Amino acid sequence: MPVTTQQLLQILPNAGSVAGVFVPVLNTAMNRYQIVGPKRVAAFIAQIGHESGQLKYVKEIWGPTAAQMRYEGRADLGNTQFGDGSKYRGRGLIQITGRANYKACGDALGLDLINQPELLEKPQHACMSAAWYWATRGLNTLADAGKFDTITKRINGGQNGAADRQMLYARALKVLA
């Protein structure tokens, strides 16, 4: 069952007019990566809702903050060239971060994200990259098992924004029931 604009706005009321832009490409992405059924869709929308500020941000706001400065030179992110930290900052609805993740995502989606990282700011690629990330991290299985905190940890590395994520998840489960 595809998500409607009305349902998306009930879950992410701050999305406003962009909800209508995202709904068709969100449904396409979720369908491609088997993010189907209320449990999976609710968990996915809650996570992308938090990560993107309810579809407001498809590019990480850059300070650079102290945390962002640490992206530079991080081999685990594939940031091996000077400037990679800023160039491959978080983008898309799940905030793909780092040269290595941009390469893997680009290869999977048939996009040259190394030379055009800003492609992840376009709604269709922002949605598809999030669904790709979700699927490649085994998050459908965790959603089926109701392991929402584990999903948060796989996406964020910790429990950053846990209260907001949980609130969005509860709302999504109610709307999609």
Per residue in 16-70, pLDDT (tens digit) is 999 999 999 999 999 999 999 999 999 999 999 999 999 999 999 999 999 899 9
What stretch(es) of the chain map to CATH 3.30.20? 66-120
What are the residue numbers of the active site? Answer: 51
Sign of the CA dihedral running 57, 59, 65, 71: positive
Rounded to two decimals, the pTM is 0.95
Cα torsion angle, 41, 36, 125, 111, sign: positive
Return the sign of the alpha-carbon dihedral for residues 127, 169, 156, 64.
Answer: positive
Q: Fold for domain 66-120?
A: Endochitinase; domain 2 (3.30.20)
The predicted structure's pLDDT at residue 31: 98
Pair 115, 126: CB distance under 8 Å: no
CA distances from 89 to 12, 123, 176 (A): 24, 17, 32
Contact assessment for residue 94 and residue 57, using Cβ atoms and an 8 Å cutoff:
no
State the pLDDT confidence band at 158, using cuts at 50, 70 and 90: confident
